[in-house]
Amino acid sequence: MVESLHAEDPRAIGGYVLLGRLGAGGMGRVYLARTPGGRALALKTILAERTGDPGFRLRFEREIRNADRVRSPWTVPVVDWSRGDGQQWLATEYVPAPSLEEWVLHAGPLAPEAVTELAAELIAALAAVHAEGLVHRDLKPSNVLLGPQRPQLIDFGIARALDDSPVTHTGGMIGSPGYLAPEQVAGARELSPAADVFALGALLVFAATGHGPFQHTGESPATATLLYRVIHEPPVLTGLPEVLRPLVEPLLAKEPGARPAASALAAGRTAGGGRWVRALPETLREDHRRRAEELPARLNQSGGAAPARPGAQPAVPSASTPRPPAHPPTAAPTAAAAGPPSPPPPTQPHAAVPHTGNPYAPGGPATPPPPVGGGFGAAGTPATPYPPVSPYPVPRRSSRTVPAVVGAVLATALVLVGGWVLLDNRGENTGGTAGDEGEKEAHKEDGANEENGADEKNEEKEQEQDPEALPEQYIGTWEGSAEVPDRSDIDGEVTVTLTLDPGGLDEHVGTLVTNATEVLTGWNLGCTETVKLIEIDDGSIRLEGTSSRNTDQENPFVTGCQTGNVHEITLDEDDPDTVLGTTVYPKSEDPPIPLHRTGD
């Protein structure tokens, strides 16, 4: 939970107001921070003694940019970091959730079902990391957040940057001894993904028993003892439920080559689909709710004036006098320069959040505008690291107004005609002849037979439909638009296109595309999400965004589209060609946005 700032704590770092302490560890201290735009960040400071050699900053920046390549629902994105040679810090999205270490020490081990789902989620997370050619290197209980929708990994990049420093080779080993792989303990300079797999096995033992695999319950062995056990002794699995042993034991093999790869493990397990949420204990869900409810009040509390970042100009220049990138670009466009300048002062409305990755274009705005996308409706009660800027806070007045009026007239006509036929068939129309009556009775009987046949076919069709398949009425392309009143940098409305293809539960079934034009540059700030079907209900479905990118792939300066959003799509009872879209994670308080089926 959030602790009040101490007298020795700074009141602002890098232009971000500090609101409280989130924790501390061997690398530094973590604060809850607020951007000028009012969003929550987790800001970690790195201890000065850890960053003593001159090359640390370059390695730090390199590893952060590498970590930014991993865009998955299980990784917490980096928002900003230090650029100067002074105090080093790293700001990420804030996740209102406890770490695995915090929760187990407070509430005890997780149930086997929850550990099984934790394993499935973290295996998928590591598979995504390793697919980018990266190794986390410091996977441990304090670096896994038990998020409300999925567990999330933190502290990418820091361990590698510190581990390459001469300071660490004379001053100690980076990482938690009980979760280091044997090859790490032995001092291997190049680690393979197998080191992360070993750490995962150790982490799962902790989740299920409350202690690591190389210590006994209630024991606190010395670091040297732990390191010796990691290399020479078998793991202590006393208390590990039998159902978990077939999963955990292979992960803790001493030889890296004997451990299964995360990708192979992921192929036999399914993450997502609401399984994680269902497996969480109610006490943890309540903890999530309490943190989310408390966050707005914390963000509204006053803070000290935010000093400018070292080297930054005292005021944010206007768009007519753009600031050049902080560092010269490198050959790789996706890791070109150090990033945006310091954020605007808190008095400026609609302040943009600095983002990692690409430099902002010379000649463009002084700070990169955040992308638009990731949900139906503006976020209400924050339920995620920070409320994302959404293109859908206010439903657009329907462009189908005229057709709707025409439809009403047609509906009235059908009621009148239908009423006439009904009266006629009841013999109350005196204008017909006996022959007419006989003919009508025959037609009525034929119609009844046809109707019964159609009902039987519909029943057979319903019985044949796979209950885990996306219902046919959702398949197709749906379009709509909305205004974004809290984004003055957006020109006009944001357009939304949802395309759904046939598929089943836990399968990717389409895309959610937003397009939004930035006023000053004309850039498209929209995002494109790949969505997976995670729930089918009576009259509605839920989709999860498993990957996200900027819609304009040719513009390298727009980054930061978020993954992990959960959208609910509901059929309109009055119009089969309309669905209502809303975002349930992060939570939105706005009314659903109508999307209309296109002719495609």
pLDDT tens digits along 520-540: 678 888 889 999 999 999 899
pLDDT at 1 over 80: no
Whole-number Å distance between alpha carbons of 188 and 262 = 20
Residue 46: CB atoms within 10 Å: 21
Mean pLDDT confidence for 108-114: 97
Is the pLDDT at 255 greater than 70, yes or no?
Answer: yes
Q: Which of 135, 115, 407, 436 is nearest to 279 (CA)?
A: 115
pTM for the complete prediction? 0.55
In this predicted model, which residue has the larger pLDDT, 91 or 175?
Answer: 91
Q: Higher model confidence: residue 122 or residue 438?
A: 122
Look at 429 and 469; give whichever has higher pLDDT.
Answer: 469
Q: Considering only 371-375, 442-446, 483-487, which range has the smallest mean pLDDT?
A: 442-446
Give the type of residue at 145.
L
Q: Contact at 8 Å (CB) between 480 and 496?
A: yes
pLDDT of residue 80: 87
Residues 6+ apart with CB under 8 A from 254: 182, 231
141-165 per-residue burial string, b: 16 or more CB within 10 A, e: under 16: bbbbbbbbbbbbbbbbbbbbbbbbb
Q: Which residue would you say has higher pLDDT here, 431 or 375?
A: 375
pLDDT band at 68 (very low <50, low <70, confident <90, very high): confident
53 tagged catalytic: no
pLDDT at res. 564: 80
Q: Which residue has the higher pLDDT, 103 or 162?
A: 103
pLDDT of residue 382: 31
Is the pLDDT at 251 greater than 90? The verdict is yes
Compute CA distances 201 → 217, 240, 414, 429, whole Å: 17, 12, 67, 81
Among the listed ranges 155-159, 166-170, 402-406, 501-505, which one has the minimum average pLDDT value? 402-406
Using 50, 70 and 90 to split pLDDT, how confident is the model at 326?
Answer: very low
3-state secondary structure of 440: helix
Rounded to the nearest 10°, the torsion over CA 107, 148, 195, 192 is -170
Beta strand 494-500 with 476-483: parallel, antiparallel or unpaired? antiparallel
- Distance between CA atoms of residues 384 and 487, nearest Å: 20
User: What's the rounded mean pLDDT across residues 345-369?
Assistant: 35
Q: What is the mean pLDDT of residues 84-104?
A: 89
Closest CA to 95 of 109, 77, 108, 107: 77
Mean pLDDT of the chain: 73
> What's the rounded mean pLDDT across residues 305-309?
39
Average pLDDT estimate for 72-91: 84
Distance CA 517, CA 218 (A): 59
pLDDT band for position 563 (cuts 50, 70, 90): confident
Do the strands 151-153 and 566-571 form a parallel or antiparallel pair, or are they unpaired?
Answer: unpaired
Give pLDDT, residue 357.
33
Contact 129, 135 (CB under 8 A): yes
The residue-averaged pLDDT of 73-93 equals 84
Place of tokens 């202690």: 211
Which range among 168-172, 264-268, 356-360 has the greatest average pLDDT? 264-268
Share of the chain above pLDDT 70, in %: 64
The residue that leads in pLDDT, 7 or 171, is: 7
Closest by Cα among 215, 259, 213, 255 to 237: 213
Nearest to 549 by CA among 574, 524, 580, 570: 524
How far is Cα 516 from Cα 41, in angstroms, rounded to an integer? 25
Band of residue 78 on the pLDDT scale cut at 50, 70, 90: confident
Using an 8 Å Cβ cutoff, are 177 and 88 in contact? no
Q: Which domains, from first to last, does the chain contain?
A: 12-299 (1.10.510.10), 470-597 (2.40.128)
Annotated catalytic residue within 9, 53, 85, 138 = 138
Tell me: pLDDT of 349 over 90.
no
Strand-pair category, 476-483 with 151-153: unpaired
Residue 361 has pLDDT above 80, yes or no: no
Q: What are the structure tokens assigned to 24, written together? A: 């501390």
Question: Residue 109 is which amino acid?
Answer: P
Q: Is 265 helix (H, G, I), strand (E, B) or coil?
A: helix
Q: How far apart are CA 306 and CA 216, in angstroms?
A: 47
The residue ranking higher by pLDDT, 306 or 192, is 192
- Which residues touch 261 (CB under 8 Å, ≥6 apart)? 130, 193, 194, 197
Is the distance from CB of 578 to CB of 551 less than 8 angstroms? no
Residue 367 CA to residue 313 CA, distance in Å, equals 13
- The helix/strand/coil state of 275 is helix
DSSP H stretches of helix in 275-372: 275-279, 282-300
Side-chain-side CA neighbours of residue 344 (13 Å): 18
Interval 352-380 mean pLDDT:
43
**What is the chain's Cα-based Rg?**
29
Q: How far is CA 451 from CA 335, 414, 422, in A?
A: 65, 19, 16
Q: Would you state the pLDDT for residue 304? A: 41
Other C-beta atoms lying within 10 Å of the C-beta of residue 406 = 11
Among 289-303, 412-426, 500-514, 565-579, name the one with the lowest average pLDDT. Answer: 412-426
Edge-to-edge strand list for the sheet holding 16-24: 12-13, 16-24, 28-34, 40-46, 88-93, 78-81
Cβ contact 529:547 at 8 Å = yes
592: preceding bond cis by omega (within 30 degrees): no
Mean pLDDT of 160-170: 43
Confidence at residue 47, expressed as pLDDT on a 0 to 100 scale: 78
Q: For 1-14, what is the mean pLDDT?
A: 90
- State residue 396 phi and psi, 5-degree precision: -75, 145
538: left (phi over 0), alpha (psi -120 to 50) or beta: beta
Is residue 204 over pLDDT 90?
yes
The reply, when asked if residue 44 is annotated as ligand binding, is: yes
Q: Give the per-residue pLDDT at 10.
A: 93
Q: Is the pLDDT of residue 145 over 80?
A: yes
**Top-confidence range, 210-224, 336-350, 355-369:** 210-224
Q: Residue 306 pLDDT > 50, yes or no?
A: no
Largest Cα separation within the chain, whole Å, is 109
